[in-house]
Amino acid sequence: MSPLNSGIPLKTEHSTRDRLYWNFFNIIPFLIGSIAIARDSLKWVAVYIGIALFFFLVIEFRFTCTHCLYYIRSKGCVKCMMLSGVPKIFKARPGPHSPFEKVMTVLGALPMFFFPVYWLVRDPLLLGGYVVSWALFFLTARRYECVRCINFECPMNRVPVEVRREFKTN
């Protein structure tokens, strides 16, 4: 039995279902944080939305999506699975992520994760939902997407080594 037939089909195409799934689990914690902030001030919700947009449209796109081999090889451009309609802004950079890129992605994500905590602490139910929703997002992303992605250079990629070798030789 070949490694490609071992029950782990690699994703060479992202379906509409994949995009909806990814975005749905990504937006739930953002909505919970926005609800907690909105109870106090709509001005701070606008700031939080700005932080999230900056993270997804600049930080994530520049330091993560530009390495996605799926789009670079098959489509000839850089796009992001989460934001498929965003036009090409940054040039493709296939290959491994540099330590600087990894650090920038983490530092760029921290404000998005921690900004609503002040408001969430006031409501333990929302705080619990926030923590659980982020945990579900990361667990399902790694389990559902990262074991099938052909971007073998991605630090989140979990495709077994023998499947990678088989895929590269075909």
CA distances from 74 to 16, 69, 151 (A): 17, 8, 12
CB contact burial 130-166 (16+ within 10 A = b; e otherwise): beebbeebeeebeeebbbbbbbeebeebebeeebeeb
Tell me if 137 sits within 8 A of 130, measured CB to CB: no
CA-closest candidate to residue 64, choices 149, 143, 135, 153: 153
**How confident is the model at residue 7, as a pLDDT?**
57
Q: How far is it, in rounded angstroms, from Cα 94 to Cα 109? A: 22
Task: Give me the pLDDT at residue 2, please.
Answer: 43
- State the pLDDT at residue 106: 82
Q: Which long-range contacts (CB under 8 A, 24 or more apart) does 39-43 make?
A: 39/119, 39/122, 39/123, 40/119
Paired residues of 11 in beta bridges: 149
pLDDT for 42 equals: 93
Q: What is the pLDDT along the chain (170 residues), one digit of tens a residue?
A: 344 444 566 666 666 776 677 777 778 998 999 999 999 999 999 999 999 888 877 777 666 666 666 555 555 555 555 555 555 566 666 677 788 877 887 888 888 889 999 999 999 999 999 999 988 887 776 666 666 677 676 666 777 778 777 777 77
Contact present, 164 and 152 (Cβ < 8 Å): yes
Count of C-beta atoms within a 10 Å radius of residue 101: 17
- The model's pTM is 0.68
The pLDDT of residue 34 is 94
The pLDDT value given to residue 139: 79
Instruction: Return the pLDDT at 78.
Output: 54
pLDDT at 37: 95
What pLDDT sits at residue 75?
A: 55
